[in-house]
């Protein structure tokens, strides 16, 4: 295993990269390959003579060539495959191209297209990326981690493939999610790809279609559960900590029954967080903070209904609960303003609920006297009407769940209700922005999980904020690594929410934007990272450094794709 290193010449002050490969081995390594941009001197020094056409190219020309081919693809999945092939050939070019076309390519690299890619993963698999840790060989986990491309890994994104977006159990196909999240880390926060490692923890699948698919690439048996599952995870985490001390481990798209357990079990043992729970909560919280600025109201005066009590719903609820208390409410007062609705209706005492849902359970006394459509069940519409909801958040994956009666009821409770159909991909959204805005004649504020175009009503464009975790998790990750904290706290995520909301200019707020423009993502990530580092420092969990020093180190850690000179090791 080699280490990726960048050095600086003491005499010329020129930065260069130490390269341990030559010839075909060099051009076959996506981190080091420059393709036609190898200089004449490098072609001689690294034994590349005759392997490329005579003319030496550059990054700009290569980007034009590859964007032309990308644009010629008519299908989003074909575009995803094309970009994946480019990433496997030349990562510098891949990221340079994405940064030039962020708004266009992020929906291809990640949601919504990544969902299709995960569903078809076994059929479009070309070249291995990251590591596949199989439960059948977990006793060899140290050997498998030793196969990582580089020894100086600082970030791992891991999934077991059980809850991929809103698509459910996709087994080994879930590897598309860590691969995509790594791409977002690099594009948004500038972590160098050599320091990032996607991992699929393959514990089987309960997806019958996959088990029957002769092309399925994963472990062909039912998912491990209980103690057998826990032993696999324990061996994995222990080995990761042993091989890569100081690494940040991001849990991604684990099933509801495991996600909360694993987060709580390991957050004190290894630097880690769960983006589906904490990142989603922090991003949604930033939207609420921006909405309060637009509405000129206080967070403490809102009534929030969370439709869906999985990881995302519970994570959002926890973050809002924290925000309400920071706005002056007591613990109980904050609980009283959040209503959790699941498949069986409002969470009320006496119902079977998971431990993480207890925060939002209402007493029977609290709902006594409510007027209900069905006396045996308190449904979503009942809650909106009786509680006087001003904020409605959907994370159910149920397309159309926010129907006309639901939207109109929200409009009766507030002049400018905040409606957030966050389920993705797009086809899973609880409603479309166009549907909600047309019903309320443009009065609502909308934030969605997937990208939607502006909606024009009465000659005015209403902008739709995409509540994309991309705004939070890369900055949180970089901030945690820079400040050298040993754990990521809820307060750090709250600091990230505030920093994110503060990056929306006043003029954009006035126009209805609740999150910054996506093409500002690197500047946004830097400020989120700074807020996390400052919170860690001030709470005694991060190293001592001034705000200016922390920001300087954050910027220094942010890689910009460019071809540097090469020197042989």
> What are the pLDDT digits (tens) for 257-274?
899 999 999 999 999 999
Question: Which residues, at least 6 apart from 488, have a Cβ–Cβ distance to it below 8 Å?
Answer: 267, 271, 272, 273, 278, 476, 480, 532
Instruction: Note the pLDDT of residue 376.
Output: 87
Q: Where in the chain is the domain with CATH 3.40.50.10380?
A: 60-270
Query: What band does 111 get if pLDDT is binned at 50, 70 and 90?
Result: confident
Mean pLDDT in residue range 73-82:
97
Instruction: Note the pLDDT of residue 310.
Output: 87
The reported pTM is 0.93
321 sits in which H/E element: helix 311-326
Instruction: Note the pLDDT of residue 29.
Output: 97
Long-range pairs, 82-85, Cβ under 8 A, ≥24: 83/108, 83/109, 84/126, 85/126
Q: Where in the chain is the domain with CATH 3.40.50.720?
A: 276-569
Tokens found for residue 332:
């109980």
- Catalytic residue positions, numbered: 110, 181
Helices and strands per DSSP (H, E), number in the chain: 24, 17
Helix (H, G, I), strand (E, B) or coil at 446: strand
What are 521-531's pLDDT values in tens digits?
999 999 999 99
Residue 425 in this model has a pLDDT that exceeds 80: no
Instruction: Note the pLDDT of residue 353.
Output: 87
Which of the following CATH numbers is that of domain 276-569: 3.40.50.720, 3.30.390.50, 1.10.3720.10, 3.40.50.1820?
A: 3.40.50.720
Euclidean distance between CA atoms 493 and 278, whole angstroms: 7
Question: Which residues, at least 6 apart from 85, have a Cβ–Cβ distance to it below 8 Å?
Answer: 126
Mean pLDDT in residue range 322-336:
94
Instruction: Note the pLDDT of residue 21.
Output: 96
Instruction: Note the pLDDT of residue 451.
Output: 82
What are 458-476's pLDDT values in tens digits?
889 999 999 999 999 999 9
Mean pLDDT in residue range 344-348:
94
Instruction: Note the pLDDT of residue 120.
Output: 97
Tokens found for residue 282:
């922090």
In the CATH hierarchy, which fold is given to the domain comprising 60-270? Answer: Rossmann fold (3.40.50)
Query: What band does 354 get if pLDDT is binned at 50, 70 and 90?
Result: confident
């Amino acid at each position: 295993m080699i280490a990726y290193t960048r050095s600086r010449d003491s005499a010329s002050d020129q930065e260069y990269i130490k390269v341990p490969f030559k010839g075909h081995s060099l051009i076959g390594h996506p981190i080091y390959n420059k393709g036609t941009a190898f200089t004449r001197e490098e072609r001689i020094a690294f034994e590349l003579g005759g392997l490329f056409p005579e003319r030496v190219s550059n990054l700009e020309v290569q980007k034009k060539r590859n964007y032309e081919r990308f644009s010629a693809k008519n299908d989003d999945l074909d575009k995803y495959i094309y970009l994946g092939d480019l990433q496997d050939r030349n990562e510098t070019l891949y990221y340079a191209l994405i940064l030039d076309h962020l708004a266009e390519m992020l929906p291809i690299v990640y949601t919504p297209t990544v969902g299709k890619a995960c569903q078809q993963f076994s059929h479009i698999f070309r070249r291995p990326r990251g590591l596949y840790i199989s439960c059948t060989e977990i006793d060899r986990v140290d050997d498998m981690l030793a196969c990582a491309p580089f020894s100086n890994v600082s970030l791992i994104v891991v999934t077991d493939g059980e809850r991929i977006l809103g698509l459910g159990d996709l087994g080994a196909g879930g590897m598309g999610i860590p691969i995509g999240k790594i791409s977002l880390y690099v594009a948004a926060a500038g972590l160098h790809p050599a320091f990032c490692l996607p991992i699929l923890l393959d514990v089987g699948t309960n997806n019958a279609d996959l088990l029957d698919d002769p092309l399925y690439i994963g472990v062909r048996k039912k998912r491990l559960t209980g103690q057998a599952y826990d032993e696999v995870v324990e061996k994995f985490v222990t080995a990761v900590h042993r091989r890569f001390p100081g690494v940040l481990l991001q849990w991604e798209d684990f099933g509801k029954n495991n996600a909360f357990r694993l987060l709580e079990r390991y957050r004190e043992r290894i630097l880690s967080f769960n983006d589906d729970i904490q990142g989603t909560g922090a991003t949604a919280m930033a939207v609420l903070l921006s909405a309060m600025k637009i509405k000129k109201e206080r967070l403490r005066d809102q009534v929030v209904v969370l439709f869906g009590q999985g990881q995302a719903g519970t994570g959002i609820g926890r973050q809002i609960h924290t925000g309400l208390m920071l706005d002056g409410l007591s613990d109980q007062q904050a609980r009283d303003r959040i209503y959790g609705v699941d498949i069986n209706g409002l969470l009320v005492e006496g119902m079977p609920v998971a431990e993480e849902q207890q925060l939002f359970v209402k007493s029977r006394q609290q709902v006594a006297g409510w007027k209900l459509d069905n006396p045996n069940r308190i449904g979503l519409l009942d809650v909106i009407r009786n509680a006087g909801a001003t904020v409605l958040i959907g994370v159910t994956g149920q397309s159309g769940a926010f129907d006309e009666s639901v939207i109109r009821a929200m409009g009766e409770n507030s002049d400018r209700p905040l409606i957030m159909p966050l389920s993705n991909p797009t086809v899973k959204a609880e409603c479309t922005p166009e549907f909600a805005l047309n019903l309320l004649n443009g009065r609502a504020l909308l934030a969605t999980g997937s990208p939607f175009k502006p909606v024009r009503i009465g000659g005015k464009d209403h902008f739709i904020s995409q509540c994309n975790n991309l705004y939070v998790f890369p900055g949180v990750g970089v901030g945690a690594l820079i400040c050298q904290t040993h754990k990521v706290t809820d307060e750090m995520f709250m600091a990230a929410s505030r920093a994110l909301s503060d990056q929306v200019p006043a003029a954009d707020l006035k126009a209805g934007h609740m999150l910054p423009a996506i093409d500002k993502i690197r500047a946004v990530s830097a400020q989120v990272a700074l807020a996390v580092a400052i919170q860690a420092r001030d709470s005694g969990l991060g190293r001592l450094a001034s705000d200016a020093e922390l920001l300087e180190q954050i910027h220094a850690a942010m890689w910009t794709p460019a071809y540097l000179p090469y020197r042989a090791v």
